[in-house]
Amino acid sequence: MRIEIVTIFPGFFAGILENGIVRRAQADGLLTVGIHDLRTFTHDRHRTVDDRPFGGGEGMVLKPGPLAEALASLDLVPKAERQTVEPGKVPLAGTRVILLSAQGKSFTQAVARELATLDRVVLICGRYEGVDERINDLYCDMELSIGDYVLSGGELAAAVILDATMRLIPGVLGNQASGEFESFGVADAEIASDVQGVPRSQHGAGGLLDYPHFTRPAEFAGLRAPEVLMNGDHLQIRRWRREQQLRKTMANRPDLLESAALDEEDRRLLQEIWEGKR
């Protein structure tokens, strides 16, 4: 997979690309990241990338010209021309051009899973008051936001999307199953069956939050890890963890329950938690 990032602050990504699983994924040839300085595509001595907004208002807007040239350097053409471009020029089926802005739809784990199946993702980092909307109309397949707040620019959002997406590429994580059993993950039906006859000790999240985790020592600062996690009974552990997933989600993100993959047992547990019976 290749991720291209268009930004006016290319140095922002130096530390991100040189550490952790992002570095390992690149070293193993599973991921390539290209950082493209937008100012390279300007033609004045001040390397100007922004201008005042038409109609007045606060702040500055990124100009369409440098952005269009930056995308052209990546062999991308406007969407209206993509059907007539020479075969092989732009890998349409495997490429998405994404504008990062506060006005975009929410970036979720489901979107990350979708992006992880692509050959190439191009991320345009907005700045100032935003990007000239004609770039969005002409080139972008998607507009994404990482949350209901405003950042100074899209660089932080690009780093988040890079990390969340690349860890879902097969081979990036040391144990690929780690990416299946996490908050916002898929349901049991979408996860491979138990291996070598050993029952799985956790449910697929199915859109819920993850359960709480504990490790050694068994007792710390007067608090003991739950006994159920240390008794070796996979079925009991599985049930306990599912209840904790439901508790966490109800307490912190009750909105997720509306779209989560719940069965009758889950709904019974939720009702008992709600009524204080558990």
pLDDT tens for each residue of 72-125: 999 999 998 876 555 555 445 589 999 999 999 999 999 999 999 999 999 999
User: What value does the mean pLDDT take over residues 63-74?
Assistant: 98
Confidence of residue 177 (pLDDT cuts 50, 70, 90): low
pLDDT digits (tens, 9 = 90+) for 40-53: 999 999 999 999 99
- Cβ atoms of 41 and 66 closer than 8 Å: yes
What is the percent of the chain where pLDDT is above 90? 80
186 has pLDDT over 70: yes
| CB neighbour list of residue 155: distance below 8 Å, 6 or more residues apart | 7, 9, 12, 13, 125
Domains of the chain: 2-166 (3.40.1280.10), 181-274 (1.10.1270.20)
Question: Distance between CA 14 and CA 115 in Å, rounded?
Answer: 23
